[in-house]
Amino acid sequence: MGWSERTSSLGTKLALATVLVLSVVSLFMYRQLTSRERDHLVSSKARAANMVSELFATSLAAPLDFGDAEAVDVELGNLRTNSENGRRLRTSWPACATT
């Protein structure tokens, strides 16, 4: 039984075609699902960042309106508790780089 005899049977051809079709469909579904999940995660992160920035802006609104520097420093101190935010804060606001 040579190679050409095994691959020429109808059962083998159907099995190979089935495996090929299932592989292509599985790859397509994997790409679609991961793309959709990535888009969902990015939009969730964007919504969360938007909510945090709105909360921060709301907490700073009154101290900035009334010129209360001490309250502004307290709110910025709360933001600095996260080291990643502190680095961003120092690089984006030169007045905060002195602290």
Q: Is residue 82 part of a domain?
A: no
Q: Is residue 11 part of a domain?
A: yes
42-97 pLDDT per residue, tens: 999 999 999 988 988 898 898 888 888 898 888 888 877 766 665 555 555 555 54
**DSSP-assigned states of every residue in 14-46:** HHHHHHHHHHHHHHHHHHHHHHHHHHHHHHHHH
Nearby residues of 99 by Cβ (< 8 Å), 6 or more positions away: 80, 90
Q: Is residue 69 part of a domain?
A: no
pTM here is 0.55
Residue 43 structural domain: 1-51
Domain count, the chain: 1
Do residues 12 and 6 lie in contact, with contact meaning Cβ atoms separated by under 8 Å?
Answer: yes
20-48 pLDDT per residue, tens: 999 999 999 999 999 999 999 999 999 99
Q: Is residue 70 part of a domain?
A: no
Q: Is residue 93 part of a domain?
A: no
